[in-house]
Amino acid sequence: MIPLANKPVLGYVLDQVAQTGITQIGIIIAPETGHYVKEYVKDGTEWNFKVTYIPQEPLGLAHAVKTAQHFLGEDDFIMCLGDNLQGQGLTTYVQKFKKENMDALILLKEVEDDNPTLNPLRTSSSNLKLLENLSSFP
């Protein structure tokens, strides 16, 4: 629950999701910290959401999706990290995903640091080519 301007970053992320028109959300929570998320989000009415809390042992992002499989079913979904902000909002990307009938859309931001933990696309020469191709994407 990292605060930014007296509001948890998660609140800004939920604001961006709400702007897309999504009304059902699943929130992955860890056993140790999930109660903090529940205390903040409550039933989701602040964002006009119906919230389902999904407990998960913290075993990574792919495991989180697998854990949420019963909630997701066959539906399309957005996966947002609760401590990451997308500066331009998500609505344009949701519309693009739907309009172009995409299988996946991954949003990444290039950073100047070559540290692979900060810039996952700069870990090999083949990934650098991918990064170059992505630079033309708006």
Phi, then psi, of 8 in degrees rounded to 5? -60, 145
Q: Please check the confidence at residue 127 and state whether its pLDDT lies above 50.
A: no
Q: Please check the confidence at residue 39 and state whether its pLDDT lies above 50.
A: yes
Tokens 């910290």: give the residue: 33
Question: What is the length of the chain?
Answer: 138
Amino acid at 71: F
Could you tell me the two tokens for 92?
């344009």
Architecture of the domain spanning 3-104: Alpha-Beta Complex (3.90)
Mean pLDDT of the 4-14 span: 90
CATH 3.90.550.10 in the chain is located at 3-104
Mean pLDDT of the 8-23 span: 93
Q: What is the pTM of this model?
A: 0.76
